[in-house]
């Protein structure tokens, strides 16, 4: 089946991929635009994984102020080159992450930052709650593991559902931009300030 220019145009508009890449993927998927989007996303994520080992020594610090100055955030987002750091797409990403931090109030950047004391305390609470519900000890442990994963999703920035599109996490949002911009991007640090907290 021949792929029409309208299909190529639609795929390009929806994904930002190059014309030749869009045509190639549409040929592979027999003109199925939805399937082509999936293939492009998978390939983009694979490229993002390869780029993750590269040094990111450029970037910017973005800020966001909300509620008439009642909440403010700062986030450091790094990339490989000053050229990419100055692009509108990269700056928008940094600003979106700063906005997300204001809305979602994460406590940690990634899982590695969650201290053992916090994990032990949370696990103890979850196991106790499961035992109180009458669950056997081995089941209570499994329930605690599941609830710990939920704790990460709620409190770790990179694992939180993106406030503007809850179908993806902040980590997936960053990987999409890595695939699109062609450089490693790393969220290095953040701070959130709120009056009265």
Where along the chain do its domains lie?
A: 5-51, 58-109+156-194, 115-155
Q: 58-82: buried (b, 16+ CB within 10 Å) or exposed (e) per residue?
A: bbbebebeeeeeebbbebbbbbbbe
Instruction: Write down the pTM of the prediction.
Output: 0.70
pLDDT cut 90: percent of the chain above it: 47
| Residue 57 pLDDT > 60 | yes
- Residue 1 has a pLDDT of 61
Top CATH class of 115-155 equals mainly alpha
Tell whether the model's pLDDT for residue 136 goes beyond 80.
yes
Per-residue CA distances from 166 to 4, 19, 28, 170, 190 (Å)? 33, 29, 30, 9, 20
Percent of residues, the chain, with pLDDT higher than 70? 91
Strand partners, 66: 71
- What is the structure's pLDDT at 51? 55
CATH architecture of 5-51: Orthogonal Bundle (1.10)
Rg (CA), the chain: 21
CATH class of 58-109+156-194: alpha beta
Q: How confident is the model at residue 97 (pLDDT cuts 50, 70, 90)?
A: very high
Mean pLDDT value across residues 97-105: 96
Q: What is the 3-state secondary structure (H, E, C) of 101-117?
A: HHHHCCCECCHHHCCHH
Phi then psi for residue 72, to 5 deg, are: -140, 145
pLDDT band (50, 70, 90) for residue 106: very high
Rounded average pLDDT over 66-73: 90
Position 3 pLDDT exceeds 60: yes
Mean pLDDT, rounded, for 114-139? 89
Per-residue pLDDT at 52: 57
The rounded Cα 64 to chain-centroid distance in angstroms is 18
pLDDT at 45: 53
Nearest CA-CA partner of 78 in 183, 150, 165, 197: 183
Q: How much is the average pLDDT of 64-71?
A: 89
End-to-end CA distance of the chain: 61
Other beta carbons less than 10 A from residue 152's beta carbon:
17
Confidence of residue 68 (pLDDT cuts 50, 70, 90): confident
pLDDT in tens, 141-195: 888 888 999 999 999 999 999 999 999 999 999 988 988 888 889 999 999 999 8
d(CA 115, CA 101): 20
pLDDT of 4 strictly over 90: no
Bridge partner residues of 189 (DSSP):
76
């Amino acid at each position: 089946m021949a792929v029409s220019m309208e299909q190529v145009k639609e795929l390009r508009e929806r994904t930002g991929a190059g014309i030749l890449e869009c045509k190639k993927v549409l040929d592979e998927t027999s003109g199925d635009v939805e399937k082509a989007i999936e293939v492009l996303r998978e390939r983009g994520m694979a490229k993002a994984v390869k780029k993750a080992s590269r040094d990111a020594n450029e970037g910017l610090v973005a800020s966001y102020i909300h509620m008439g100055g009642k909440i403010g955030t700062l986030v450091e987002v790094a990339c490989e080159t000053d050229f990419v750091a100055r692009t509108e797409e990269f700056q928008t990403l940094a600003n979106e992450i700063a906005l997300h931090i204001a809305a979602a109030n994460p406590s940690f950047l990634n899982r590695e930052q969650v201290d053992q004391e916090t994990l032990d305390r949370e696990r103890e609470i979850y196991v106790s709650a499961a035992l109180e519900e009458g669950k056997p000890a081995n089941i209570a442990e499994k329930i605690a593991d599941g609830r710990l994963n939920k704790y990460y999703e709620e409190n770790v920035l990179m694992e939180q559902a993106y406030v503007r599109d809850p179908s993806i996490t902040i980590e997936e949002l960053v990987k999409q931009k890595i695939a699109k911009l062609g450089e490693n991007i790393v969220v290095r640090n953040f701070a959130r300030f709120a009056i009265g907290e």
